[in-house]
Structure formats: structure tokens, C-alpha cells
Amino acid sequence: MSHVTEKYFDAAVQAIAESVSFDSSMKPAEGNYPFGKETADCLAHFLKIAEDMGFETHNYDNYVGEVVFGEGEEIAVLAHLDVVPAGSGWKYPPFGAVINDDVSDGGMARTKMWGRGTMDDKGPAVATLFSLKALKDSGFSPKRKIKLIVGCNEESGWACLDHYNKVAKMPDEGFSPDADFPVIYAEKGIYHFESVFPIENAPFTSFSAGERVNMVCDGAQAVLTEEGAEKFAAYQGSYDGVRLEYDEKTGILKAFGKSAHGSTPEKGANALGGLLQFFASFNKDIKKAFDVLFADSASLKTMQDETGYLTMSPDLAKFENGALVITTDIRFPATHKKREIEEKLEAAGVTYREISYQAPLYNDPNGKLISTLMQVYNRVTGRNEKPVAIGGGTYARALKCGCGFGPEFENEEATIHQANEYILLDRIRLMLEIYYEALKALTN
């Protein structure tokens, strides 16, 4: 670690821990708090740290905040302070920011901070702020105006950036420390849709699944009818990574899976899929839903290009008006079109409606922004890597020329959007160094 950023490490760790202590998952709006008071408090905490460092700051109505350093042509760093719900299954309090060398998962004895938001995205946001502080204290005068923009609604719709664009000016270029290293030159398109499957002779009286459309469903349940209970007593099927548990007293059948980010459904175990597979074994209407959304009878997952294959994660479900209503998260290859997905759904006879859509992001991997960040990354880490594409969606899409830049590494344990999310303290050290050098190179 550079002597320039080393002296900021302890303070950065403390600030991340303080930020993690706020449950900034989306809550109902109240008064001047569009996403709940605790999220607004988290933003105020972040901006107070920046003010104490001597930076110009702006709080745009508790939707989004901004830290400004330098003058000239603007460049953005887009991060966020909101988090997905903690969910269940944590070994340490999800907002406790516990720091230890826990190796119960069989991993290496490396010091970790546990908590929701440590990696996504409070850790990177705070690390970027302290990198700015290191630059400022070193006497560096950026030749561009750096705007560190921190949103409060990234996980649930981007209303924060919609508001920012109404009250301030978004720079054309920049990066988001909310993805993977080395540098993300392309992001798949994101398409969330709700599909409706009418069910005759439903084997349940109620059905619910999931917490967020961009989180692999780790819990689902249904209250069985007498027929449903009889069928389950004889059921021998299994679904990878999902456990079914029936309570005869309550008549509730529960499915337990493993959460993951909606862009990487293969890293989770979808409880909704396990529950639907059981019902599909004897109900043709439910079988249609399972076949389209899980068995991929519409061949959606065959869509591919250099940015990868289409991924599909049905993550929310409910039973209303005699129909299963299922909300699905699709990430599709960057050179393809949303309409191709819709045509396949229509050909399969699926009734659907769009919930949200984000067009793919594609940048020239040899352009100045990408090449500069790649040079910094390889120099700091001693590696020799090339830019990559991902299925996740970051704030980089809000920029005319933007990219994702950290904090995850390929082939490491991914805990974002899962129970027991953590950040290695060594990762904080590395981010301080990388973001310090990156901002210096981009504004020198």
C-alpha cells in the first residue's frame, strides 16, 4: 500500500463501519425522507465526513448527495448508500459491522468486516471519498472537477439519479465503483417483467415468494389444499440447492434456497423454482410457468454474444385472482434487443408486462477512459488483465461514457445480495490505492 494512502486506512475502516450501521434498505417515504429516515441519516453521515474533510457537498433533498473537488471539465464517480434488505441466515448482525478473522466457511484467515453494504456499495463509496481526501492533502490540484455522487435508491429503481438530473448536471464521463475489477467496458441489458399464469384447480390457497426482483429468491411458501398435501406426501423430486419443508399443522409448504445477485442466478439456489417444480409435477398450468421461466422452454437463454449468455432469474411471486403472478429479472447480451425477448415470450403464449428496462451499456474497450483505468489497475496490482463485460447493472449507464470499476474480483467468493456479505480489510487497502491513482490519472 502506498505511503500516500496508508495513513487513511484506519479512518476509512471506521467510516465504513459507521455507514454499515444504518439500515438503508428502502422504506416507505415519510415527510422529507423519500426512502425512509434511516437512509437519509446514512447520507447525512457520509456528507458530514466529507464536510469535515473540507470538501464542498450538496444534499439534494435526501435523494442523492454530492462531494465536489477541483475545477474544469466534470468527471463523475457514481456510488450508492442504499442496500438490499438484510434477509435471513446471518452469522453476525447484518448492520453490526463486526470485524474478525472468521474462517468457519473454510476460507483463509483474512480479516473481514461483515455487514450489508460492506461491498455493495458503502465500502467502495467511502474508500473513494478517502482517496479524494488523500489527493487533496497531497496538494494535488485536479484539472477536472470531480463529482463523487452517492445515490440512495440504486437498488430499487434509480429515483435518486432521476432527481439528480432534475436539480443538477450529470457529467458525461466517469466510473462506478459498484461492479468488478479490472474494468467493465460493457453491461448487459436489464429487463424486469411480470408474467401472469392463470391456474385452474390451484393446489394452494395462498402463495408468496421472494423479497426483491434483483435478488435470487431464497424463500417461498404456499398454503396447500388437501390435494396439494396428498401430492407432497408422495413427492420424490428434488431441485438443486433447495429444501422443501411441510408443516402438517399449518398446511404450509416452505422452500428454502440461497440468495444471490439477480445478474448471477447460478450462484444462488432459487426457492421459487423448487416450489414450482413440485406443483408442476401434477398441475399443467403451473407446469407452463415452470417450463417457461425455469426450464427455458422459450429458449431465452440461448441468446448470446461477446458479453455472455442471457440470464433469467424469476425472483418474486404471488397468487391473486386465480393466477400466479411472477416477476423475473433478465440480463441480456449487450448487442441484442429487448424486443427479441418479448417475441419469444409471445411465441410461448405468455401474458406479460414490462416493469422496468435499462438499455445495455457498451464502451470501446480501447477508448481513453477504459484504457486509462486498465493501466492504473494493472500497475497497482501487478497484473496484466483486459477489460470485461458483466450482467450486472451499475450507475455507469447514467453516463454517456461510463464504466464499472471494482470492487469484486473474478473467481472470489461473492456475497453481494447474500447473507453474510463481507469485505476483506485488505480490499479496503487496495481500493484506497486504486481509486487514488485512478482519479489522479483521469484528472492530471
What was the pLDDT predicted at 410? 83
pTM: 0.77
CA–CA gap between residue 274 and residue 381 (Å, rounded)? 42
What was the pLDDT predicted at 4? 65
Q: What's the mean pLDDT in 216-222?
A: 97
Q: In which band, very low, low, confident or very high, does the pLDDT at 185 lie, cut at 50, 70 and 90?
A: very high
* Percent of the chain residues past pLDDT 90, beyond the cut: 89
Task: Give domain 3-188+361-443's CATH superfamily.
Answer: Zn peptidases (3.40.630.10)
pLDDT tops 80 at residue 392: no
Q: What's the mean pLDDT in 165-185?
A: 96
Other C-beta atoms within 10 Å of 144: how many? 18
Lowest mean pLDDT among 97-111, 217-231, 272-286, 390-404: 97-111
Q: Give the ranges where 55-172 is alpha helix by DSSP (H).
A: 122-137, 159-167
* Percent of the chain residues past pLDDT 70, beyond the cut: 98
Helix (H, G, I), strand (E, B) or coil at 21: coil
User: Are the beta carbons of 196 and 320 closer than 8 angstroms?
Assistant: no
CA–CA gap between residue 167 and residue 317 (Å, rounded)? 36
Taking the domains of the chain in order of start, what are their residue ranges?
3-188+361-443, 191-358
Q: Which residues contact 246 (CB under 8 A, 6 or more apart)?
A: 224, 229, 232, 252, 253, 254
What was the pLDDT predicted at 354? 97
Per CATH, which fold does 191-358 belong to? Alpha-Beta Plaits (3.30.70)
Q: How does pLDDT run across 146-161, given as a tens digit for each residue? A: 999 999 999 988 999 9
Other C-beta atoms within 10 Å of 375: how many? 14
Q: How does pLDDT run across 353-362, given as a tens digit for each residue? A: 999 998 999 8
Q: What's the mean pLDDT in 231-255?
A: 97
Q: What's the mean pLDDT in 371-391?
A: 94
For the chain, the average pLDDT equals: 95
Cα angle at 8 between 7 and 9, to 5 degrees? 95
Q: What's the mean pLDDT in 155-174?
A: 96
What was the pLDDT predicted at 116? 98
Question: Which contacts (CB < 8 Å, 24+ apart) does range 243-251 have?
Answer: 243/274, 244/274, 244/275, 244/278, 250/223, 251/223, 251/224
What was the pLDDT predicted at 306? 85
What was the pLDDT predicted at 45? 98
Q: In which band, very low, low, confident or very high, does the pLDDT at 262 lie, cut at 50, 70 and 90?
A: very high
User: Are the beta carbons of 216 and 268 closer than 8 angstroms?
Assistant: yes
The H-or-E segment that residue 78 falls in is: strand 73-80
Q: What's the mean pLDDT in 193-219?
A: 96
Q: How does pLDDT run across 81-102, given as a tens digit for each residue? A: 999 999 889 999 999 999 999 8
